[in-house]
């Protein structure tokens, strides 16, 4: 068995989710190869070669693969993937965009967002917003799988010395082009990789009030997230959304502030090690999953918490 892992990166740096995906590959067993596709990605390929347990890094460096356009990257992955037992990608917006296209090209069903490996062909994954866990077996010749990062502890980023090999194949479908992007800039840790996450919900009342959470987060070295209600209300941008259809996080500490605890939000954070809920409504469902609940006005509690930590 040889497993192909698609590296997650922004063209410059290798994203941590790649390490969780390699960890899932290691659980399956067999040789692990990593594909880095993009343009001007030498530094990413170098980083991928250092990942513990990786045997070989394939580098497809071409303008067609810049910005990870799925119309061009998916045919590349499908072509290479034919020679592998498994093709894995992180369940990031990129992985979710590209991998089903690969699976269809290989004429196999995909298994989305696995959270554990039972055996080389059997995996578990959440369905119904995490209200049920399905055990799924694949008989596909190439098993195409996205990996939920929070289900697997990352492998070491250093320690490996994989061979790096260039891939010459160029696929340019010509059906799509990149126009632009608006990426949020933040000095805080990335939401899905942070050890502590402070999230705000509708109870924050407006975007300006999120400053209380930013102040607390900066004191704790935490990332800041939000519930769907807060994002829909326009308080904060969509990239901060934690939930079933947003980001899935599982930090050491999750502090939910002014969040009622809708099912779809819980789906995104209930695997956190310790959950704190601060809400003035003592009936809020969030308290049913919280290790520590504080019934209080968040506008008094959060500044006080910031002072005391």
Residues in region 78-117 near another protein by CB under 8 A: 92-94, 96-105, 107-113
Write the DSSP assignment of 211-243 as a string of letters.
HHHHHHHHHHT-EEEE-HHHHHTTSS-GGGBBS
Six-digit token string for 88: 């894995």
Of residues 165 and 232, the one with the C-beta less far from another protein? 232
What's the CA gap between 229 and 260, in Å, rounded? 10
Residues in region 205-234 near another protein by CB under 8 A: 220, 228, 231-232
How far lies 130's CA from each of 115, 153, 154, 160, in Å?
11, 19, 22, 35
Of residues 159 and 221, the one with the C-beta less far from another protein? 221
Chain centroid offset of residue 38 CA: 19
Residues in region 276-295 near another protein by CB under 8 A: 276, 282, 287-295
Binding another protein by CB under 8 A: which of 21, 33, 138, 150? 138
Of residues 206 and 252, the one with the C-beta less far from another protein? 252
> In this structure, what DSSP letter does residue 191 have?
T
Smallest gap from residue 228 Cβ to another protein (A):
7
Smallest gap from residue 162 Cβ to another protein (A):
26
Neighbours of 167 (CB within 10 A): 17
Binding another protein by CB under 8 A: which of 25, 44, 57, 74? 74
Residues in region 155-184 near another protein by CB under 8 A: 173-184
Nearest 10 degrees: Cα torsion 146, 33, 119, 95: 0
Smallest gap from residue 140 Cβ to another protein (A):
4
Stretch that binds another protein, among 18-26, 80-88, 153-161, 236-244 (CB under 8 A): 236-244
What's the CA gap between 108 and 143, in Å, rounded? 8
If binding means CB under 8 A, how many residues of this protein chain bind another protein? 91
Residues in a beta bridge with 36: 59
Binding another protein by CB under 8 A: which of 120, 136, 193, 215? 136
Residues in a beta bridge with 14: 9
Smallest gap from residue 131 Cβ to another protein (A):
5
| Contact flag: residue 39 with another protein (CB under 8 A) | no
Smallest gap from residue 294 Cβ to another protein (A):
5
Binding mask 245-264 for another protein (x = CB under 8 A): x-x----xx---------xx
Of residues 49 and 302, the one with the C-beta less far from another protein? 302
Of residues 50 and 121, the one with the C-beta less far from another protein? 121
What's the CA gap between 28 and 22, in Å, rounded? 10
Q: Pick from 176, 227, 7, 199: which is nearest to 99 by CA?
A: 7
What's the CA gap between 238 and 184, in Å, rounded? 10
């Amino acid at each position: 068995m040889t497993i192909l892992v698609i590296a997650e990166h922004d063209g410059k740096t290798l994203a941590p989710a790649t390490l969780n995906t390699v960890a899932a590959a290691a659980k399956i067993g067999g040789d692990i190869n990593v594909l880095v596709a993009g343009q001007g990605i030498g530094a990413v390929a170098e980083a991928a070669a250092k990942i513990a347990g990786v045997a070989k890094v394939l580098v497809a460096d071409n303008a067609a693969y810049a910005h990870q356009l799925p119309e061009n990257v998916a045919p590349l992955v499908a072509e290479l993937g034919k020679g592998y037992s498994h093709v894995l990608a992180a369940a990031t917006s990129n992985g979710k965009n590209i991998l089903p296209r690969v699976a269809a090209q290989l004429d196999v069903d995909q298994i989305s967002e696995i959270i554990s490996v039972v055996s080389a062909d059997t995996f578990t994954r959440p369905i119904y917003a995490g209200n049920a866990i399905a055990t799924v077996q694949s008989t596909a010749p190439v098993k195409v799988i996205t990996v939920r990062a929070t289900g697997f502890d990352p492998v070491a980023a250093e320690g490996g010395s994989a061979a790096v090999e260039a891939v010459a194949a160029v696929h340019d479908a010509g059906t799509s082009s990149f126009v632009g992007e608006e990426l949020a800039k933040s000095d805080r840790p990335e939401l899905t990789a942070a050890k502590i996450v402070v999230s705000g919900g509708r109870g924050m009342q407006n975007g300006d009030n999120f400053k209380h959470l930013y102040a607390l987060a900066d004191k704790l070295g935490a990332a800041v997230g939000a519930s769907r209600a807060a994002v829909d209300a326009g308080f904060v941008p969509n990239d901060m959304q934690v939930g079933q259809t947003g980001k899935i996080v599982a930090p050491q500490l999750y502090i939910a502030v002014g969040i009622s605890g809708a099912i779809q939000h819980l789906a995104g954070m209930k695997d956190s090690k310790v959950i704190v809920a601060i809400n003035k409504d003592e009936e809020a469902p969030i308290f049913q999953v919280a290790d520590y609940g504080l019934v209080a006005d968040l506008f008094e509690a959060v500044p006080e918490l910031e002072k005391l930590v």
